[in-house]
Structure 1
């Protein structure tokens, strides 16, 4: 019996096939379990972890008024993603994990909200011919911009530009909506569109005040009949090398592995998603306001010369209307410009390569006269492409009286 068990285990692991990972010269990454000889039926597994040490240059305080330590540790992401190709037309994907586990979200027995695993994505899809696919579930085929569809496996900066995840926690679950999507391409033009249910609960739990500004919790206040659906789309034209649209996750930097130049445009619409109160304190009159977000962006990634150097550049302009004078956390009715640029130095691709980068964002809000500005300066050390890298970044944020700086060191392993 023991011999049979060991034999089955051995055959199981021999059936795995390594898959090619982006930007990694000496590690093929991921595991593919084949269900037939030609590999057309398979299960692929990917896992990654990002661990940070963050030093805040300014004093911060907890909910009880006690000063926090300036040096803090953060399990930024711990994820498992797996997908199965049942046959050439069917695919199912499951993605789960935990985010931003810190000393304040740890719980004594691991049962607290902050320390819980949850589903990021669960969807099934069906191919409609060679270049078009329909699917449904909890998915990440978002609209607006490339950064609203950003992969967390291969970001160039330490993290994504937060305001680009423009609906996170407001109408969705961690940037994922529950609904149906259609994606595909017409020659060099790729597209993704979706119709989704709006979440019935949101991070913006405020109550609309008579004569006050909008709050973004329309479905909770007005009911699903009036504010129940959201609509999203993103379209990008690929002038040079064609990027894969097999999965929704957009690559942050190819490290010179491709020569890519794309221009894109996208939208997000949530009819009556925001709520204002046109009544009085004694006789409230809740009225829905449409939420509409539009963006245009450009992405360029290219090798330079023969020595392994590469340039990555990205820019986006986003116009956001969350309702009259909406302002909540980093999100608000107004406009945003964001850009980042990075350069990989010449070097042996099988050894450590360095990529300094700079990022800048400017955000204006209708509700206030002050603009929010963010500036980041960092460097990536790629020890095995995106599969093993260290990132050191200083990020400064200014908004009104706020002038904060955070120095972060992140280690990432992606298998």
Structure 2
């Protein structure tokens, strides 16, 4: 093996520019395994720590009142990918999510304390701009938000309903299967065929006779009848081209690119849900989700200001009258967010933002709405930032839930 070089990566998901907005370095470290850098290993690590205030938190598992202020490790992750030549790539991504005082365990051996695989896939290139791959992957369908990177979200966190299959047919928004992705001119695509998870958030649920659908097709009907999912996302870029070297979509470029994309995507799981008739006979119902979105991110003027705007329409059909908690329901959603990087020449940049979504809930014949008002303080682009956000959620006739969250994030 020839000399190994340790250098700063210029960009997390491509080879050119600073798409993460950092004036210091890109996003990680690169170990070159030969002199021309065609063989390499890249490593990225990040942590997001939350302090969250909510005066209306529900009772804990022991029926006791919870403190208004809580702390958590929202995400702790390590991502590595390597190429032995231009034709082959392997990626591994592991970590944990939402570790807090309620799910800590005495010796760190509990379920919430354990690292798990988020992604692991192998990929083979088909020429310069197209590739196929297989494994536990994040080449999702539906929308840009369903392919969002957690490193550069503009708002505090991703819109939860946009990760529309998380825990229902997959493992934390990742499916095991095969995918194809690529670029043709200004057009980008990603499509996949995957296996559906048998154990999910409704692992012990059965549909009631004559009642609503449950997302239990793979378990109750079997993998032959309900074991495949299909997904795709397609977009056209009018301005600067975005990298699709990896699947993770950038949330805001902080004025370092000019991007205007429109996209459309889908997710389909034949017989993914199950209903029972009055006699208890089970029938599969198809799960179909469709999204249409637009992303606009451009610098404004000559003083470092920038605008980020996004809009999504998502139509979600999980089956007859489906609802799971306040997260998943058969219906539709409109989501939008808008951010503005304030002008200035300082290394520290500020970005106030607004987010809003409105959901139609078929089974309740009612709506849910969520408003977020926040701001980012970027000390070195997305590599070091603080985010403060006030959020209010009104779900149907339930009392509004209000939270204030402060996030500290560093990634290297």
Query: Structure 1 runs of 4+ off > 2 angstroms?
Result: none
Residue 286 (structure 2) pairs with residue 290 (structure 1): yes
Q: Helix, strand or coil for the counterpart of 1:303? A: strand
| CA-based RMSD | 1.1
Aligned equivalents of 1:194, 1:388: Cα separation in 2: 34
Q: Helix, strand or coil for the counterpart of 1:323? A: coil
Aligned equivalents of 2:237, 2:55: Cα separation in 1: 42
Aligned equivalents of 2:31, 2:218: Cα separation in 1: 42
Aligned equivalents of 1:402, 1:87: Cα separation in 2: 56
Residue 10 (structure 2) pairs with residue 20 (structure 1): yes
2:43 equivalent in structure 1: 45
1:115 equivalent in structure 2: 113
Aligned equivalents of 1:63, 1:164: Cα separation in 2: 28
Query: Does the aligned pair in 2 maintain the 1:241–1:258 contact within 8 Å?
Result: yes
2:202 equivalent in structure 1: 204
2:274 equivalent in structure 1: 275
Structure 1 residues 25-34 or 307-316, which shifts more? 25-34
Aligned residues: 400
Shift of 1:217: 1.4
Shift of 1:239: 0.4
Aligned equivalents of 1:313, 1:153: Cα separation in 2: 18
Residue 242 (structure 2) pairs with residue 243 (structure 1): yes
Residue 221 (structure 2) pairs with residue 231 (structure 1): no
2:254 equivalent in structure 1: 255
1:386 equivalent in structure 2: 382
Q: Unpaired runs of 5+ in structure 1? A: 1-7
Aligned equivalents of 1:137, 1:29: Cα separation in 2: 24
Q: Which of residues 303, 328, 331 is equivalent to 1:331?
A: 328
Shift of 1:221: 0.8
Aligned equivalents of 2:274, 2:224: Cα separation in 1: 14
Query: Does the aligned pair in 2 maintain the 1:23–1:255 contact within 8 Å?
Result: yes
Query: Does the aligned pair in 2 maintain the 1:395–1:406 contact within 8 Å?
Result: yes
Query: Does the aligned pair in 2 maintain the 1:279–1:286 contact within 8 Å?
Result: no
- TM-score (ref. length: structure 2): 0.96
Aligned equivalents of 1:263, 1:66: Cα separation in 2: 48
Query: Does the aligned pair in 2 maintain the 1:394–1:407 contact within 8 Å?
Result: yes
Pair 1:187–1:168, CA change in 2 (3 A): same
Aligned equivalents of 2:353, 2:273: Cα separation in 1: 37
Shift of 1:29: 3.1
Aligned equivalents of 2:398, 2:58: Cα separation in 1: 14
1:56 equivalent in structure 2: 54
Aligned equivalents of 2:254, 2:42: Cα separation in 1: 24
Aligned equivalents of 2:27, 2:117: Cα separation in 1: 23
Q: Which of residues 295, 298, 303 is equivalent to 1:307?
A: 303
Q: Which of residues 369, 373, 377 is equivalent to 1:377?
A: 373
Report matched runs for 1:65-144 at 5 Å: 65-144=63-142
CA offset digits 1:282-305 (Å, max 9, x no partner): xx2111000000010000000001
Shift of 1:338: 0.3
CA offset digits 1:193-241 (Å, max 9, x no partner): 0000000111023211110000011101111011000000000000000
Residue 335 (structure 2) pairs with residue 345 (structure 1): no
Shift of 1:408: 0.2
Q: Helix, strand or coil for the counterpart of 2:270? A: strand
Q: Unpaired runs of 5+ in structure 2? A: 12-19
Aligned equivalents of 1:294, 1:270: Cα separation in 2: 12
Q: Which of residues 343, 357, 380 is equivalent to 2:353?
A: 357
Shift of 1:129: 1.1
Query: Does the aligned pair in 2 maintain the 1:298–1:314 contact within 8 Å?
Result: yes
Q: Which of residues 175, 178, 186 is equivalent to 1:177?
A: 175
Aligned equivalents of 1:263, 1:28: Cα separation in 2: 27
Residue 210 (structure 2) pairs with residue 215 (structure 1): no
1:414 equivalent in structure 2: 411
Aligned equivalents of 1:28, 1:219: Cα separation in 2: 42
Query: Does the aligned pair in 2 maintain the 1:145–1:296 contact within 8 Å?
Result: yes
Shift of 1:370: 2.2
CA offset digits 1:4-33 (Å, max 9, x no partner): xxxx9xx75xx1111124210123331100
2:156 equivalent in structure 1: 158
